[in-house]
Amino acid sequence: MAHLLRVKNRFFLRAGTILFALCFLIATGGSAFAGPRGSAILKELEDALVSLADRIRPAVVSLSAYVPPSPSIRRQGDDSGRPAGAGAGVIIDGAKGLIVTNNHVVRGSGKVKVTLLGGEEKVGTVLGSDEDTDLAVVQIEVDQPLASAVFGDSAHLKVGQLAVAVGNPYGLNDTLTFGIISGLNRENVNLSRYEDFIQTDASINPGNSGGPLLDIRGEVIGINTAIINYAQSIGFAIPSNIVRKVTSELIKFGEVQRGWLGVGIEQVTPEIARRTKSEEGKGVWVNSVFEGDPAYRAGLRVGDIILKIGGAPVDTPSRMIRLIGSFSPGQSVNLDILREGHREVLTVMLDSQKRGREKQVARSYSEPARAPMGLEVESPEGLEEVVISRVNPKSPAGAAGLRAGDRIEAANGRAVGGIEEFKSILDSVSTGESLFLLVLRNEERLHLALVRED
């Protein structure tokens, strides 16, 4: 135990040395390290980073498409046509061969090729994936325990902390980059449904996806997921506390089981704040309550402002979605609401998100309301998205090639942020006029036009 404490203390001293050295490098342009003492400090910095790299690299793997052997197609020893590396992953349980990565790295695959640090290749099975957080778990068979990474606590991260990213950018396996945490709680980046990203300037490139973001202790504080293509030094990682919860459910159930409230919500704007005697930016406004769903049974009404969920404050629709999704189906939670200027507390027993979405789709198909231009749309709970739920094949929408599942991103040159906004644009189109839509279908953007006939 004493030895372990000495090792740990020595590593913390090295971490402190890194911070000290970096601050002086920035302040002095390197001149402070010209003498022997400066060289010693820089050597400490170098040793600390090398130590971190040596400990984490064996736990990082390369993931790429798995192509079953086919002697009739590829001759033995012919490696031409092999797929390039698609991303990275990090081993979280070396004894069981469990690896966490991004969902988009393994999307549509039951098997993936996993390449370990020394070059050994294995076939991995996708145990489960979660598109809403862009996470997946892969398992490989192991003869003996592999090196494993350790999760840190992302709840206590601070802007300015040092960060290290490891992955396989552009097929360059086993690449380590260094930077800081540039921001926290980033949302509305349009990368996934549940967004609460760590922003970092540690260099992240295609191929880093699924690899770890580490703190100076070498603990995983996030899983690298994306970059902004047109920007420099802006990368995003999924916080380790989210990763830990999602991966545990994927391993146990093969899917993530989330709570469902059954409401439509939107930001508290100045106009809504004035009408409801509330404060702008505090809470979310309930614009619809689905009959028979948990919110309806608990007595929530259209016009209520949800201020807290389970004691946690709500300030944006995205945060509320994450909070509800963090509870399990069947769990009871308290909602602090503002109703007509008065605070109340409602207790609601959450339903299953999966079952709630199925009911929502069923409702949209059973509604007798006439669909303008043969187009029916819906919005996933709490999200400012418009998704086509049904298309009449003999309508202008059907003739234009629209399909159920298409996501409408813009209409007549205006970005679409919700159903009400889309309906407003649709109502402004007169008979005989055209409606130009930008839709997202299977990660491909299409421009489609239809003419209003009614």
**Is there a contact between 63 and 86 (Cβ–Cβ < 8 Å)?**
yes
Cα(140)–Cα(283) distance, rounded to whole angstroms? 45
- Rounded to whole angstroms, the maximal C-alpha distance in the chain is 83
- Catalytic residue, from 93, 132, 134, 215: name it: 134
- Catalytic residue, from 62, 64, 93, 104: name it: 104
Q: Any idea of the CA torsion for 49, 51, 54, 55, to the nearest 10 degrees?
A: -110
Query: 285 pairs with which residues across the strands?
Result: 266, 305
**Is there a contact between 264 and 252 (Cβ–Cβ < 8 Å)?**
no
Residue 104 annotated as catalytic: yes
Cα(92)–Cα(209) distance, rounded to whole angstroms? 16
433: CB partners within 8 A, 6+ apart: 451, 452
Q: CB count, 10 Å around CB of 303? A: 15
Residue 156 annotated as catalytic: no
Query: 18 pairs with which residues across the strands?
Result: none
Cα(148)–Cα(97) distance, rounded to whole angstroms? 9
Residue 342 annotated as catalytic: no
Cα(413)–Cα(269) distance, rounded to whole angstroms? 24
Which residue shows structure tokens 């009871």? 332
Pairing between β-strand 312-313 and β-strand 212-214 as defined by DSSP bridges: unpaired
- Catalytic residue, from 209, 318, 326, 389: name it: 209
Instruction: Give helix 36-56 / helix 2-28 axis angle, nearest 10°.
Output: 120
Token output for 40: 């010693």
Which residue shows structure tokens 């980046």? 189
- Any idea which residues carry the catalytic annotation? 104, 134, 209
